[in-house]
Amino acid sequence: MARKAKAGFTPSRAKNLVGVAKVVAPALIPVLAPVLARGAGVLSEQYDRYRARRLGIDVADIGKYSGYGARLHARIVGFSEPLETLRTSDSEWVSKTETRLTQLLAAVRAAERMPTARRKAAHRAVGTDLEMLEQDLLRRLGVR
């Protein structure tokens, strides 16, 4: 005697699966919860490392750089570090550049609350200014 092929997903099968889930789920939750929590922690850590790598910063500093202008913010802060090497030889340029960087940083922060089109335009303008400052810095450092 040949058996009939089982039909797909029927209402009675669904009812049976729900009944089994009601019995099994409470037993699995204590086992799965720590595994899921660890997995979420690992994913969060990996995402933070990814973001830090993209911004060119240390993972510990990731909280300082958030929002739409995070990349520009990190570039501005990173740009200010090598200025110390030029302070003795060209202190006037360094002080002017630090003032300009402060202004650019304020513009990036202010742009966070702007409508999208205006924010993007502000970020482009800041990026252009920053590129010019970076070229000038490299020229002053003797990099061609």
Q: Read off the pLDDT of residues 55-111 as tens digits, 9 standing for 90 and up.
A: 888 898 888 888 899 999 999 998 888 888 888 888 899 999 999 999 999 999 999
Q: Please, which pLDDT band fits residue 27 given cuts at 50, 70 and 90?
A: confident
- pLDDT at position 4: 57
For the beta carbon of residue 57, count every other beta carbon within 10 angstroms: 19
Length of the chain: 144
Q: Read off the pLDDT of residues 111-142 as tens digits, 9 standing for 90 and up.
A: 999 999 999 999 999 999 999 999 998 888 88
- pLDDT at position 6: 61
The structure's pTM equals 0.68
- Average per-residue pLDDT in the chain? 88
Integer Cα distance of 109 and 72 in angstroms: 10
Residue pair 69/111 in contact by the 8 Å Cβ criterion: yes
